[in-house]
Amino acid sequence: MSLSWPLVLVVLSWGFNFVSLKLLYREIDPPAVALLRFLTMWALLLPLCLSRGLSLRYRREDVLRVLVAGFLSMGLYMFLFLEGLHKTSAAEGAIILATSPVWTYLMAAALKQETFRLKGFVGSCVAFLGVAVVIAGGAASDGSTLKGNLELLASAILWAFCVVYMKPLLKHYEATQLLTLSMPGGALLMVPYGIGSVMHLHFGAISLVGWLMFLQVAVLSGLVGFACFYVGIKQIGPSRTTLYQYFVPPTAVFFAWSILGKTLSPFQFLGFAVLLYGVVTTSRARISAEASSDLDREAAG
C-alpha cells in the first residue's frame, strides 16, 4: 500500500484528539467545547466552500434530509462523543470508536448498499467481543465509567448510521459542501447544549495550553483532518483510506501513555487485539465485495 502523507496527518491528529480533549476538559467543560468547536468549524467551512466555488444552496428535495444529517452527525453524534469521552479514558474512547466501520458494514449490507459476506459478519461478531472485553476491563480503571463507554459505543453506532444515511447525498454534493450545508441542523442541538456553559466561561482564564488544545480539536483534527481524509480518498481510494483508520486507536493509546500516563490493563490489551482483528476482517470483506461489484459492472459494461 502506497504511503499517503495526508492520511498520516489524519492518523496523528485523530489519535491525539482523544488526549487533547482530556487536557482541554481540565479548563473547559464538554458543552462549551462542543459549541465553540462547532461554531469555529462552521466559520471556517463557509469561506472554504466559497473559495472553492461550491454552491451553498440546497436542492429543494434534499433540504430536510441534509438538515437531519447535520442534526445527527454534527449534533447528536458530537454530544454523545464529547460526553462519553469526558467519562472514560482517552485510550478506551479511541478503541470503542474503532467499531464504527463494523457498524457501517452491517447497516450498509442490511440496506443493500453493500454485498453481505459471511466473513464480514463473523468479523463483526469478533469485533463486538473485543469491545465488550475492553468495556468490561475498563469498569475498574482510573477515570473510566460504564456510562461513558456506552455513550461512546452509541456514538460509534450513530456515526455509522450517518455514513449510510448520507451516502446517497454525496451523489449530488461534494463532501465539504455537504458538511457545510448540514451545519444548521447540528446547531439545533449544539446551541442549546452549549450556550449556557459558553456564557459563563471565563475566556481570560484559559491557558496557552488550553487554547492550543482547542485549536487541535477544532481546526487540526476537525477541519484539516477532514480535508486530508478526503485528499487520501482521491489519492488511494476509499477502501485503502479506511485501512489508515486502524492506526488511530494505537496512536491514541501511545499518546495517552506518554502524555497522560494512562495505559490499558492486560485484559483490555487482549480485547483491543481481538477488536482490531474483527474490524480488519470485516473491512477486508467489504473491500472484497467492492472489488467483485466493480468487476461485475465492468463485465456488464
pLDDT of residue 50: 93
Across the range 195-212, mean pLDDT stands at: 96
Amino acid identity of residue 201, one-letter, is: L
Task: Give the pLDDT of residue 239.
Answer: 56
CA distance 101 to 128: 12
Distance CA 133, CA 95 (A): 11
**What is the reported pTM?**
0.82
3-state DSSP assignment of residue 111: coil
Give the list of residues 6+ apart from residue 74 with CB closer than 8 angstroms, or none.
Answer: 38, 179, 182, 183, 185, 186, 190
The interaxial angle of helices 118-137 and 90-97, nearest 10 deg, is: 160
Query: What does the pLDDT look like over 161-180, one tens digit per residue?
Result: 887 888 888 889 988 899 89
| pLDDT tens track for 211-268 | 999 999 999 998 888 778 777 766 766 556 666 777 888 888 889 889 988 877 788 7
Q: Which pLDDT score, from 0 to 100, does residue 171 have? A: 86
pLDDT, average across residues 124-137: 76
pLDDT surpasses 70 at 142: no
Here the cell at position 294 is 466493480
pLDDT value of residue 60 = 92
Higher pLDDT among residues 267 and 136, named by residue:
267
Cα–Cα distance for residue pair 243/228, rounded to 1 Å: 15
**Number of DSSP helices (H) and strands (E) in the chain, helices first:** 14, 0
DSSP 8-state assignment for residue 112? T
- % of the chain surpassing 70 pLDDT: 88
User: Comparing 182 with 235, which gets the higher pLDDT?
Assistant: 182
Q: Average pLDDT over the chain, rounded to whole? A: 84
With a cut of 70, say whether residue 286 has pLDDT above it. no
- 125 versus 243: the higher-pLDDT residue is 125
- Predicted confidence at residue 189, as pLDDT, reads 97
Yes or no: say if 2 and 236 are a contact pair by the CB < 8 Å rule: yes
Contact by Cβ (8 Å): 285, 111? no
Cα–Cα distance, 293 to 284 (Å, whole number) = 14
Judged by DSSP in three states, 128 sits in helix
- Please determine, for residue 299, whether its predicted confidence score (pLDDT) is greater than 70: no
Nearest to 188 by CA among 81, 67, 82: 67
Whether 158 shows a pLDDT value over 80: the answer reads: yes
Please give the average per-residue pLDDT across 206-213, as a whole number: 96
Question: What's the rounded mean pLDDT across residues 75-93?
Answer: 91
pLDDT tens-digit series, residues 27-45: 999 999 999 999 999 999 9
Grid coordinates belonging to 207: 491557558
Angstrom distance (rounded) from CA 224 to CA 214: 14
At position 96, the amino acid (one-letter code) is I
Angle at 141 between CA 138 and CA 145, to 5 degrees: 60
pLDDT for the residue 99: 79
Q: Taking 60 as the threshold, does the pLDDT of residue 69 lie above it?
A: yes
Query: What single string gives the DSSP state of each residue in 169-206?
Result: GGGTS-HHHHHHHHHHHHHHHHHHHHHHHHHT--GGG-
Residue 83 pLDDT grade (very low, low, confident, very high; cuts 50, 70, 90): very high
Cα(115)–Cα(99) distance, integer angstroms: 19
